[in-house]
Each structure stands twice: as structure tokens, then as C-alpha cells.
Structure 1
Amino acid sequence: MDIEVKERFLKRWSRYFPGAELPIGFYYADSAEPKLLAKPPKGHRCLMADLVKVRKGKTQCFDSGNIGCFGGKRYLGFESELSPDFGYFLSYGIPGKLEGERYKKSPELVAEHLKHQQTFQAPGPCILFKRFDEMEVEDNPLVIIFFASPDVLSGLFTLANFEEPQPNGVISPFGAGCATIVDYPYRELQSSNPRAVLGMFDVSARLCVPSRVLTFSVPWPKFLTMVNNMEESFLITKSWDKVKKRIKKEG
């Protein structure tokens, strides 16, 4: 990471979003220090719960062996296979065998949905999540992830659309919590005009974040544009000053 970019963002974030939580970022690598590896799970464990440590400043590395959820492995690019009963799991289940999450009306609808959510292969054997202020020159984040309240989200959302002629500079696709912070924004990197992704509507993962927090994931090129636009955007207006005071009070 360009340290000048890092310092510029941290300075402007503190100025326009005082007291708001710093974002985290991720990138793939061929290896990582053993001390950074997340502990292998004992049973099911949601990735969003693991990221609580990252949000507090502790870098965490994951691979196919220490992710505690099959969805996490899939949406981080480490596994593509689904269980034969996945359609029932995401819909109404199988009486006496499998409890369904009821996020889709039927297994058939799940099958149609999956046609729009193809898997990708992780470009490296491990993925590192690191808080923005902990990143160094050797770190090259692909996506920056904000865990934010409605007031902070309003600023991020508006800033993401500041330089967009069309109304969809931000998308909010259906998916697991980890899909909306890794899978979808990672795919946006392939676009000539990548969009930000509003997420964390996954009911199963909601208890891993505070009640008033959603995620806002920004592909790196889009993030750079947003940072560069901060000081000529609505953030310098009296309207934002009023919101900023509330963010500072709640921070």
C-alpha cells in the first residue's frame, strides 16, 4: 500500500467521520506468518465472528482449513462444491433430517439463484484480513470493508455515488454476510467501473455485529476515487457538519 494514500485516508476519515470505526481490508497471499493464522474451528463458526478480532486491530489469516463454515469457504474462493441438500437448507428443509433457513421459497428457486452466483477460485492459498491503520507498504488490499452505522453509511453511500452518472454506484445483492464483503466486491474488481457493495443483511450472521451495523465493501480502485473526492464533496458542507456531530457523539 502507498503510505501516502494510507495517511491521507486516515486524516480525512478522522476529520469527516470522527469517532467512526476504521475499516478493514483483505488480500490473498501464498503464505502468512503462523502467528496470524486463525485458530481451527471446533464445529461451526461464522467468519463474521472471526472478523471481530480484525476490527479490533488483530490481523487474521484464513485458508481452507481454518474457516468454520462451508459458506465461508465457498464465498472466499476456497471451495466450490455444495452439499446435495443445499437447496433444501436454504429453503424449507427436509422434515426429520434438515432444518431449512427459509431464505428462499423453494429448492428450485435456490437452483435458479445459484446460476447468478457462480464461484470463483481464490488467487492464493490464504486470505489475510487487516485493519486499515495496521497495513504496511507490503500490503495490497483488494477490498476495503466498513462496518458502519446508518449515519456513516449515508456518507459512504453518497460518496460512492459522487462521481457516478448512473444511480447504481452501490449494489446490495442477496447473499451470505461473507459473500457481501468478499465474493461480490471481489468480482467487481473485474469491472471497468467497480461498484461498492452494501451488505450484512444475512439473518444467520446478524448476531456477529451490533444491531445498528451493516457492511459497506469497496473495491480498491473505487476506494481510491472516494478518498480523492472527499474534500470537494458534500463532506465539506453544513449539511454534513450536522450529521458529523451526531457521528462524533455516538462514536
Structure 2
Amino acid sequence: MKSKIVNALKPELETIALLRSNTKPEGAIQPTPGKYVCIMSLFAQVATKGKVVVFDRDTYGCPGAKAGLGFGSAYGEAMGGYDTFAAFFSKGLEDAKDKDKYLEISNNANVHVRKKLIEGERFHTSREKAYKWITQDLPLYDFPEKYVILKPLKDVTEDEKPQSIIFTVNPIQLTALMTLTGSIREGVNDTITPQGAACQMIGSFVFKEMESDNPRAVLGMIDLAARKTVRNILPDNVLTYAVPWKLFLDLEEEAEEGIFKSPLWLDLFY
């Protein structure tokens, strides 16, 4: 699929489409069943090398990505359940509801995860706040399709309808995208910056916006865990800007005569 926005931005990295499907693409990269992996490392393979990646309910990488991709939630069952994750996302052992149980889970984890479990990732100020985020704030979906696919937008065919279009851009390109979105949306809160995992910022939070008559874009890669994972693959200065399909089509229409024709953009970019 050709995109007027991509043509104007000329991004160094691929613009990516997230699709749901019951058909597995041939030759796609897929995680090993049951293996823990941050799927943003695979996202980076799509962005930098134009690969196609596929996930299913046995190969989603980690509990956060199960929620992010729309395969339901593993927070209640993996690694001791909600109480473990609530402590993990806050101050670790210090915040654990059952410290003996939490310590046992930590001691059985690999060295890398063990340290984070003990100290906590500290994405939330307290176990209570983290618990609320897991059980109430994070949009959760369990779609009927078997697969979730990440592929370059340029390879999307006419009969495919992505759920999320993800731009991986530098600050100047991001500025143009946010201006473009603001130029067509009513109101002033055109882009959301949710607290969550990077995979959720290209998936579940975008799925939530799909339900709106006036959907917003989702700014992503504001996740230190994902940043650490992809640091040797993606530049530190890039962010993701994910939009629901409906918003993408509206942005494409405006792209022809909108901000990309402004002297401001032309002076900055050319």
C-alpha cells in the first residue's frame, strides 16, 4: 500500500501495519512457543529490515504482549498472578503482599528477571495503583482471530484492513504527524501517552481508540523495558506513533493539502 504520509515523511524506518488474521503468512518470523521474549525486538526487525512477524496464543512472548496483542490477559495466571505483577510493577519485594511467596517466585526466576522482581520496575508508585492498572485501566481484548501480524505498510494488500498503523519516527517527523492529527480532530487532546508497555501502545490502547467516533493517536516507545531491549537495534531518538485504521485514512486524505505543504515543514525537512 502506498501512503501519502510516508511519502512526505520519508522515514528511515518502515511504517508498520498490525493486522489480525486466521491465515499465517508464509516465511514470517514467529517466537518459539512458551519462550519469554520482548516482542518489540521483533517489531524492530520489521522496522529496520522489512521482515514480517506473526504471533498467536502460544507465541506472544510475555504477559504484557498477550494483553497488548489482544489475546486476553495472562496477568492473573502467570508468575503468581495479579499480586506478583502488582508488586513487580511497583517497588518489588518491598511492596509484595505475601513477601515469602514473592521471594520464592523471585528466587526461581532467571538472574535478569530476579533482580527486577526484587527491586521492582517502579512503573507505579504502589502495589495498589499497579493492581488497579492491571485490572481496570489497561484495555483488554480477546479477539477471535488466531494470529496477529506485523508487516511493513507498503506490503499491505487491497483486501487487508489493518487495525493499527505504526509510524516509527524521529522528533521532527513526530511533530509533523501530531500537527497533522491535530489539524483534523475536534478538541485539543489529539494524542494519548498511556502508562504501559510499548507493545500495548501499538496494540491494545489503539484497539480502545478504534471504538471511538473521534479516535486519537497513541504515542509509544515510552517504556524503559522495551527501550533497553531494542537499544542496539533502534535509535534512541525514535518514538512510535500508532493510529487506528479509520484515523489513518482521514490523515491520508489531509496529507495531500495539509501540513506537508506548509512552508514550515518544507523549510525544516528539505
TM-score normalised per structure 1:
0.88
1:104-119 equivalences in 2 (<5 Å): 104-114=124-134, 115-119=136-140
| Equivalent residue number for residue 217 of structure 1 | 242
Deviations 1:113-170 (A, max 9, x none): 2322241112311101110111112321111001110000001000011112300121
CA distance in 2, matches of 1:161, 1:111: 33
The secondary structure found in structure 2 opposite 1:141 is coil
Q: Please state whether the residue corresponding to 2:150 is helix, strand or coil.
A: strand
Structure 1 stretch displaced more, 87-96 or 30-39:
30-39
Shift in alpha-carbon separation, 1:177–1:158, aligned structure 2, 3 A: same
1:102 — aligned with what?
A: 122
Give the paired residue count. 237
Q: Is the partner of 1:232 in helix, strand or coil?
A: coil
> What's the CA shift for 1:24?
0.4
In the alignment, does 2:17 pair up with 1:25? Answer: yes
2:56 corresponds to: 63
**1:239 lines up with 2:259 in the alignment:** no
Distance 1:148 1:54 in 2: 14
1:227 aligns with 2:252: yes
Contact persistence 1:40–1:67 (CA under 8 A): no
- 1:231 is displaced (CA, Å) by 2.2
Q: Which of 169, 172, 185 matches 1:151? A: 172
CA distance in 2, matches of 1:203, 1:121: 26
How far does residue 28 in structure 1 lie from its aligned partner after superposition?
0.8
1:212 corresponds to which letter in structure 2? N
AA of the residue aligned to 1:26: L
Give the Å deviation of 1:52: 1.8
Residue 90 (structure 2) aligns with: 91
Q: Is the 8 A contact 1:177 1:200 kept in 2?
A: yes
1:48 deviates by 0.4
| TM norm structure 2 | 0.82
Deviates more, 1:234-243 or 1:93-102: 93-102
Q: Which residue of 2 aligns with 1:163?
A: 184
Preserved CA contact (<8 Å) 1:76 1:122? no
1:248 corresponds to which residue?
none
Whole-angstrom CA distance in 2 between matches of 1:64 and 1:134: 24
Match of 1:203 among 224, 238, 245: 224
**2:39 aligned with 1:47:** yes
- The answer for unaligned runs of 5 or more in structure 2 is 76-80, 95-102, 107-116
What CA distance in whole angstroms lies between the structure 2 residues aligned with 1:121 and 1:39? 20
Say yes or no: does 1:130 pair with 2:151.
yes
Aligned to 2:114: none
Q: Which moved more, 1:127-136 or 1:39-48?
A: 39-48
Q: Is residue 212 of structure 2 the alignment partner of residue 191 of structure 1?
A: yes
How well do the aligned residues superpose, as a CA RMSD in angstroms? 1.8
Residue aligned with 2:162, SS = coil
- What corresponds to 2:199 in structure 1? 178
Tell me the amino acid that sits aligned with residue 104 of structure 1: H
